[in-house]
Structure formats: C-alpha cells, structure tokens
Amino acid sequence: MNNKPLTLAQAQILNAALDPGRLSPLAPDVVANYMTLQTKADSAKRQIENRLDCVLRDVYDCFGRELDYWYFDGANEGEVGDLLRHYTDDVIDGLCLVPPPAGGEFRFIDKNGQECVIDAAIPTRWLFENFKKELRDGIIALQKFYDYSRNHGHSF
C-alpha cells in the first residue's frame, strides 16, 4: 500500500472526481430557471394566503365575529409562516386566529353530516370551493339539532 501524500494536482483531481459539480461552472439558464420558478412560487403563495385570509374572514363573519389577523403556529413576528408545514389534503392546521374562537364557538355540521369545530384548522377543500352556504346551512342545522335535543330532554 502506498502511503505517500497526494500532490496538490492529485488532490484537485480527486476532489473533482468525488464532486464533479463543485468545480464546474453553471450554465446561466440554471440561475434564470431558478429565478423564474421562485417568482412563480412566490406569486402562488400570495394567492393561497390571500384566499386563506378570505376564507378565515368569511368563517368569522358567518359566526358574527370579526377576525383581526391570523398566522401559522411557529411563524416569526410579523410573518404568516410556513403554509406547507401545515397543509394536508384534508386540513390546513396550525392556524393561530386573533381573536381566538372561544372553546367550541365555531361549531357546525358539514356537508357530510359530521359535527365540526373550527379552532386551529379548516378543511383544505375550502380553498377550492364556495363554502359559505355549506357553513351557514351547517350552523343552522346544528342549532336545530340542539333545539330539538333540548326540547326532548337532552342536555349538553
């Protein structure tokens, strides 16, 4: 086995072989493509955040309240935070709403007949749907259910 130290030229060749992109110049279109994609991503993020803001304000409005502002859990001061960390196919969670809804205040029956509470999450589908009728109908349906149950001796 040869234990002689590598020459500078040999070390540079070895480094290039181990990491060929390290010493190679970039093509200008790599940076241009990145800038284009970043601009598109920033635009899409603003559209999603604006839609989410409208959804949350509509939710508060349906319950007769007014939303001051919102952000995602873990956001830096003055920022909205990371949507992708809180986005799933089913819900957008980690929402910090100001003022916060009182425990169980934003309760309704969804279009699938399930009782739901909006506190720190909303259905993701509301980004893509006109949901206000569902929410208003769900609030009324839940109130009718409570009224019926109370009139028939059930307590909550």
Residue 17 in domain: no
CB 86 within 8 A of CB 75: no
Residue 140 in domain: yes
> Is the predicted pLDDT of residue 1 greater than 90, yes or no?
no
Residue 135 in domain: yes
Residue 15 in domain: no
> Is the predicted pLDDT of residue 30 greater than 80, yes or no?
yes
CB 80 within 8 A of CB 49: yes
Across the range 4-24, mean pLDDT stands at: 70
Q: How far apart are CA 29 and CA 72, in angstroms?
A: 35
Q: What are phi and psi of 75, to 5 degrees?
A: -70, 150
pLDDT of residue 49: 96
Residue 155 Ramachandran class (φ > 0 left, ψ -120 to 50 alpha, else beta)? beta
> Is the predicted pLDDT of residue 23 greater than 90, yes or no?
no
Q: Could you tell me which residues are beta bridge partners of residue 108?
A: 116
Which residue range(s) make up the domain with 42? 34-151
> Is the predicted pLDDT of residue 156 greater than 60, yes or no?
no
Residue 20 in domain: no
Q: Could you tell me which residues are beta bridge partners of residue 115?
A: 109
Our count of domains for the chain comes to 1
Across the range 19-40, mean pLDDT stands at: 84
> Is the predicted pLDDT of residue 117 greater than 60, yes or no?
yes
Question: Is residue 25 classed as helix, strand or coil in its secondary structure?
Answer: coil
Q: How far apart are CA 84 and CA 72, in angstroms?
A: 10
Mean pLDDT, the chain, rounded, equals 87
- pLDDT tens for 54-107 read 999 999 999 999 999 999 999 999 999 999 999 999 999 999 999 998 877 899
Residue 19 in domain: no
> Is the predicted pLDDT of residue 17 greater than 70, yes or no?
no
Residue 67 in domain: yes
pLDDT of residue 140: 92
Question: In the numeric block, which tokens belong to residue 97?
Answer: 């709403």
> Is the predicted pLDDT of residue 14 greater than 80, yes or no?
no
Residue 76 in domain: yes
8, amino acid identity: L
| pTM for this entry | 0.75
